[in-house]
Amino acid sequence: MVKKAKPEELGKLRAEIRDVTLDIIAKAHKRMELSERIGTIKGNLNIDIQDESVEQEIRSSVFEFSNKLGIDPTFSGRLLNILLAESVRLQQIQQRRTEDITLKNTHLSVFMKAKELESSGKKIIHMEVGEPDFPPPKSVRNALLESYKMKQYHYTDSRGLLRLRQAIANKVGNGITDDEVIITSGGRFAIFSAMLALLKQGEEVISIDPSWPAYREFVDFAGGKIKILQTTIEERWTPNLRKLEEMIGQNTKVIILNYPNNPTGKVLNEKEISKIISLARDNELYLISDEVYSDYVYGRFTSLTHYKYDKIIVVSSFSKSCAMTGFRVGYGIARKEIIDKMARIQAIALTSVAEPMQHAALSAIDYNPAGNVKLIKERLDLISKKLRQMSLDFVSPQGAMYVYPRLNGSIQTDAELVNILLELGVAVAPGSGFGENYKQFIRISACQPKELLKRGLEIIESVLSVR
């Protein structure tokens, strides 16, 4: 028989739970103090703030202790990740490194500096941007005018126009239906909303570096913890799948893939993809596959839409394929329940993608980008040829629109080269914007006419050969 609840007992339990909460806060305070002291020592000894092996040691103790107490270890792991994130933040303040972090050199910060220089009259060759320089498909102009004439300028379903979702489902094939598609504000919002939909506080996302810097920002914003699998030029940017497997823990929730890759141009083969999918399946992980560069492939590429695993979210966009960056139309493809969660987030943040832009995208659905792809490939070849003459190491891109060479002369850091080049009227993206271990790299974008690229490369060569 259930015991009858007594009001005075409820009051007692509430007082007790308050006291326990205060105890936890006091312990957290103590932890922060210790963390600051550790931060000072690390600063004096010039030791990195984050140390995977130390974190792993605490994690093991926490899991062991949780199992002993009979408390869910995944909850303890998430709580630990929140505490670890706070320690890192405090230690960064301690070492006055926050300034470096917020002002970090990325392709975007270089772009902003270049724009500033341009506004004071300087001419800049933009080899830092990832924005195609050709116009959108011709159909788009008409579709925009038509949508105005037809008064198609209203809110839409937050998942997007049914006709556009159907058209994408048809184009992608593989049995995808319209309720497995969401139209988002660029590929960016598809990834962001997927992260928000999937992650609980303190859960982990594995990302493969070098990578688009937004992934880390999305995970931070969603209260998750990013774990980085480094790849190297020596491995030809192939992720080490044994290391990937070792990184998967109790709190891992998502692996994010981006092939064709920004910035390296790497494309995975089917065997590698299958292995990653089976790792995800064995560990019940979600896979977000960012395929915004999928039209720019110079060999074989297999989209993850070809694979049957119900935790895959494929993201693509009209931005690169159709040179429609400013239209802000992208999409996500996943199982209906995931799409519905992403739609709820899009409804909260934006209501829907602007209706005229969705009509513009619909008109571009059958656009054949082959001409643009050929042009980008020619430019990549031109860049590669010049880089070879300059004896710089790089892996020939199998996709996307960038080359990611390693500096080997007396200029060893991207920041130094980027600043010298800006003075000389050339903007390139610093390699470290794509991951901490890539200070020796720069990213050169093929989104400019050949003549400009040639001139830019000559300036780069002149700088590197003098030093």
Residue ranges binding ligand PMP (CB under 6 A): 130, 186-188, 212, 258, 262, 290, 292, 317, 319, 325, 330
Which residue's CB is nearer to ligand PMP, number 126 or number 188? Answer: 188
Beta strands, E only, 258-401: 286-290, 312-317, 330-333
Give the residue at shortest CB distance from ligand PMP. 186
Paired sense of beta strands 286-290 and 312-317, if any: parallel
Q: How far apart are CA 405 and CA 401, in angstroms?
A: 13
Least separation in angstroms between CB 387 and ligand PMP? 21
Q: How far apart are CA 277 and CA 106, in angstroms?
A: 31
Q: How far apart are CA 196 and CA 353, in angstroms?
A: 18
Which residue's CB is nearer to ligand PMP, number 111 or number 298? Answer: 111
Least separation in angstroms between CB 80 and ligand PMP? 30
Least separation in angstroms between CB 467 and ligand PMP? 30
Q: Strand, coil or helix: what is 427?
A: strand
Is the bond preceding residue 210 a cis peptide, omega within 30 degrees?
A: yes
Least separation in angstroms between CB 47 and ligand PMP? 32
Phi, psi at 442, each rounded to 5°:
-130, 155
Which residue's CB is nearer to ligand PMP, number 330 or number 405? Answer: 330
* 209 to 4, 54, 229, 288, 429: CA distances (angstroms): 58, 21, 6, 15, 15
State the DSSP string of 58-108: HHHHHHHHHHHHT--HHHHHHHHHHHHHHHHHHHHHHTT-HHHHHT---HH
Beta-carbon contacts of residue 35 (< 8 Å; ≥ 6 apart) = 86, 87, 90, 91
Which residue's CB is nearer to ligand PMP, number 225 or number 443? Answer: 443
Which residue's CB is nearer to ligand PMP, number 83 or number 383? Answer: 383
State the DSSP string of 174-238: TT--GGGEEEESHHHHHHHHHHHHHPPTT-EEEEEES--THHHHHHHHTT-EEEEEE--TTTTT-
Paired sense of beta strands 204-209 and 330-333, if any: unpaired
Least separation in angstroms between CB 400 and ligand PMP? 8
Least separation in angstroms between CB 79 and ligand PMP? 31
Which residue's CB is nearer to ligand PMP, number 403 or number 411? Answer: 403
Beta-carbon contacts of residue 198 (< 8 Å; ≥ 6 apart) = 253, 254, 286, 338, 341
Least separation in angstroms between CB 142 and ligand PMP? 22
Which residue's CB is nearer to ligand PMP, number 84 or number 362? Answer: 362
Which residue's CB is nearer to ligand PMP, number 186 or number 265? Answer: 186
Least separation in angstroms between CB 359 and ligand PMP? 18
Least separation in angstroms between CB 290 and ligand PMP? 5
Which residue's CB is nearer to ligand PMP, number 250 or number 319? Answer: 319
